[in-house]
Structure 1
């Protein structure tokens, strides 16, 4: 890894010093100070990204005259010329990134960050902001950055699991969980990576199901899904997160039915991935049971938020998560490109979808 480089820029908030990559000690310090730090904003997440994909650490530390500091987690594409680089927080499929701060960010500081990113030589720069404080960044974003709306759903764990179960879990969810309990499922949770192969097997089955639902050739579905979530990625995450990565597995009559992966940092728990053998899992409602158990454990561990990840408004996935008391919150992405590469990519995907009569799930 190259040593950090520093430079001075002049901003409306005064002269600011930029250090890149951001020193890890400072990044971890801000992650501990910022109460809204998400699992996907810590250095471990970037390490997992770099280990399992063609990425490099491009994080940036902004230090202002009053001593306040902002760290922007950022990943660049490895081994690309600067004019073809993409610097993002984060790349597609890696969730919420965005800045961490030692205190309240001022409008001048927010504009300084955007001004710096606007002058980066990379072909594309994008930042996906967390819901907390998103309004500040929206007001600071210049016209050169485009808004891409996103929504995340999260369960507020205030009041404990008893209150969630009685007051906020939907009747259909409680009914499904009780049905699963009567089915006498065997549930196991592992924090060593031992159950990663079980999850991977179920994920491969899920790809087959998704391909059939979407009228997508299986070979194309496998290529696309494994490009997004390659074999070995979960093992890398489990190894780096250690006890903070829980792999839950439910079995029926000895056969793996469903599995979910939950990560944790401080008071934040995050559902990350799910997979199932629908023929086994659906009749006994294995997946709702795993969600219920994971949320209950997060409450017992003192977590304040259970992040269920991104959903499309009005989708069946949004409806499913809302059954556990999850509330949708805006998590916008702002990005800019020097050439319209993304538009060309979207156009190509549209042509392919039409050719194979793809059905969005």
Structure 2
């Protein structure tokens, strides 16, 4: 862990002490007080990111007058020169970051955080905010931070599983679950990491399927997908989260059909990753069954929210999640760049897609 640095800055909300990296004890204390803290806003999540990628802890603790404290989870690329560095909360594929603030941030404190980030020497700084307080941070965002719109699909578990099954699951989801229950599917849940190799096997099969569907060379698809989700990442997450990481697997005649990974922190359960043998999973409706069981367990363990993550608007994945009652909620990302790096990267990706006749899934 980096040695913490402390500095005093002037802000619209008055003087603020900034400590970076944020002391873990303070971060966990604020996370316990902030009822909206999600799995992806915990120090454990940052540790997983740093252990499995080229990142270092750049989190910041802001201490204002009258006892107001804010922790901003943040990582940097670390090995780059400061002027070429990238600081994000979080990088693509790591979900929602954003500040941990018990009781929510006031407008002046939110502006102060943005001002501090605007002064960072990094080439790019980006923060994706959680849905619960996105509106506050949107109002505070200065014009030099570019808005990137995102939606997080969230299922409200209020009332318990009976209410969720009856009033939030759509008819098609209940029908598919009932079909799965008649398809002689065996379900196993692991909280030790033992089933990581099974998930990895199914994930490799998924990459091959995505490559065919998207008209993408398999080598390129593997490079792209494993760059975002490398071998070993799930094993690290399972080891770090322990029993709070559940790997669900559906089997048919001894062969794995599908797997999903669900993480938990406090009242939040997060559907993080999934993989499948498509032919076998579709014949047995394995994914709807695993989703139903994971949601039921979340209800039984006192969770209030089942976060199903982001999906492309209009995609089959968005449709699938909506079938379980998940509703899209804004979780905007704000970014500041000193050079138009994102525009150049987008242009290069678009050119490559055109050359290989890539088809979005």
Q: Flag whether TM exceeds 0.5 (same fold).
A: yes
- Name 1:33's counterpart in structure 2: 33
Superposed displacement of residue 280, structure 1: 0.7
Of 66-75 and 308-317, the range deviating more from structure 2: 308-317
Shift of 1:11: 1.2
Structural RMSD (CA): 0.7
Map of 2:146 onto structure 1: 146
* Contact 1:245-1:262 within 8 A present in 2 as well: yes
Structure-1 residue corresponding to 2:215 = 215
Q: Identify unmatched segments of 5+ residues in structure 1.
A: none
Structure 2 alignment gaps of length 5 or more: none
The alpha carbon displacement at 1:313 in A equals: 2.1
Q: In structure 1, the residue corresponding to 2:67 is in which secondary structure?
A: coil
C-alpha distance after superposition, 1:223-262 (max 9, x if no partner) = 1000010000000000000000000000011110000000
Aligned partners of 1:159 and 1:259: how far apart in 2? 27
Shift of 1:312: 2.0
Query: 1:352 maps to which residue?
Result: 352
Aligned residue in 2 for 1:205: 205
Deviates more, 1:1-10 or 1:228-237: 1-10
Residue number in structure 1 paired with 2:169:
169
Q: Which residue does 1:119 correspond to in 2?
A: 119
Q: Structure 1 runs of 4+ off > 6 angstroms?
A: none
Q: Deviations over 1:156-175 (max 9, x none)?
A: 00011111111111111111
CA distance in 2, matches of 1:136, 1:2: 31
Residue 140 of structure 1 deviates from its aligned partner by 0.5
Give the SS at the match of 2:246: strand
Residue 274 of structure 1: aligned partner: 274
Task: Tell me how far apart the structure 1 counterparts of residues 170 and 105 of structure 2 sit (CA, whole Å).
Answer: 37
Structure 2 counterparts to residues 28-107 of structure 1, below 5 A: 28-107=28-107
> How far 1:184 sits from its partner (Å)?
1.2
Distance 1:271 1:198 in 2: 17
Find the residue that maps to 2:66 and give its secondary structure. coil
Following superposition, the deviation at residue 102 of structure 1 comes to: 3.0
Task: State the distance in 1 between where 2:138 and 2:347 align.
Answer: 27
| Distance in 1 of aligned mates of 2:101 and 2:138 | 17
Tell me whether 146-155 or 1-10 shows the greater mean CA deviation.
1-10
Cα distance in 1 for partners of 2:102, 2:89 equals 19
Separation of aligned partners in 1, 2:345 and 2:99: 28
TM-score by length of 1: 0.99
The offset of 1:101, in angstroms, is: 1.1
Q: Report how many aligned residue pairs link the two structures.
A: 361
Residue 332 of structure 1 is matched in structure 2 by 332
Partner of 2:156: 156
Q: Is the 8 A contact 1:68 1:103 kept in 2?
A: no
2 CA distance for matches of 1:95 and 1:89?
A: 9
TM-score, normalised with respect to structure 2: 0.99
Find out whether 1:253 has 2:253 as its counterpart: yes
